[in-house]
Amino acid sequence: MEWIKFHHPDISLPVLRRRAGIEILELLEMTTLFLTRGSWALMNRHIYPNRSAFRNAAKRLKDKGLVVVESTGGRTPKLFLSASGREQIPAYFTPDKYWDRRWNDIWYMLVYDVPETDRKYRDGLRSFLKRMRMGCLQKSVWVTPADIRPDFDDLSRTANIDGFAYLLEARTVLGLPSERIVSEAWNFERLQILQEHFCEVCERNIEKLNASAPSAEELGDLIRSSLEAYHGAFMEDPLLPSELLPSEYVGKQAFALHQSMMSKIGEAGLSVTI
């Protein structure tokens, strides 16, 4: 069976595929949330190109203390997320936790001035701020509704950021309404395009799944491609509190479809021969 593939010219899925170790963590998280034990065996055998690739990735994670291995009497061992492994799961796999946050009406602004001679430090700082899902108002002015004072303190202790930057609290930014700040700091137009495309692909694959009896290999391919598509749709999402989200935001619809997809894959996994 040919599943509908998530493809967008601005998203590189081969890059996502190289994150094999983190992908196992995500699969384990999905197992906990949606999938049955039988479906775990399905993932174990049919998602990775060969057994060696899976074993090597699992060993690296075990060596880092991110997974726990349970002996199964000579059969394929079962993997479980450790507490530290769960912390490695991208935030967008539990987006409702962020949407449900109450905002205290305070914006936290990080303003920095890193000299050109320290370009490597500046680029590293910018990458870190993006990973924290902060929005860029200007090249050196970043904003977030989340209280990042603990993170700033850690940066001060470990990276001497207080020598280049200030963290400010503000009720408003130049008197702009919150809607304007959100639209200026994050590219929600691009995000809407990506998430609407994800919804379309997900809905079409759910229709295919409902209308057929896929093999184990086909389900394995669908799990992997679904996770890749979810990455592409959410990796740029700032996961703002609901009261700050634009009215046209479709992330909640996309998340609901992803949950439905994984649940249906779990149900289908019960009927295949492993």
Q: Dihedral angle at the C-alpha atoms of 17, 20, 22, 28, nearest 10 degrees?
A: 110
- The predicted model gives 266-274 an average pLDDT of 65
Region of poorest pLDDT, from 83-87, 173-177, 241-245: 83-87
For residue 48, the model assigns a pLDDT of 56
Q: Please give the class, per CATH, of domain 106-170.
A: alpha beta
Is the distance from CB of 76 to CB of 232 less than 8 angstroms? no
User: Is the pLDDT reported for residue 66 higher than 80?
Assistant: no
| Strand extents, DSSP E, the chain | 67-70, 78-81, 107-112, 135-138, 141-144, 165-170
DSSP conformational letter for 19: -
Domain boundaries, the chain: 13-95+189-269, 106-170
The pLDDT of residue 217? 77
Tens-digit pLDDT profile for residues 102-143: 999 999 999 988 777 777 877 888 888 888 899 999 888 999
Q: Which helix (H) or strand (E) holds 158?
A: helix 149-159
pLDDT one-digit tens code per residue, 159-212? 777 777 889 999 888 788 999 999 999 999 999 999 999 999 999 999 998 888
**What local confidence, expressed as pLDDT, does residue 37 receive?**
47
- Looking at the predicted structure, is the pLDDT value of residue 29 above 80? no
**Average pLDDT value over all residues in the chain:** 78
The pTM of the whole model exceeds 0.75: yes
Cα 65 to Cα 3, 26, 58, 85, distances in angstroms: 35, 15, 11, 7
Considering only CA atoms, which of 159, 74, 49 is closest in space to residue 112? Answer: 159
Query: What's the per-residue H, E or C state across 211-258?
Result: CCCCCHHHHHHHHHHHHHHHHHHHCCCCCCCHHHCCCCCCHHHHHHHH
Output the CA angle 52-50-225, nearest 5 degrees.
125
pLDDT bracket for residue 249 (50, 70, 90): very high
pLDDT of residue 164: 79
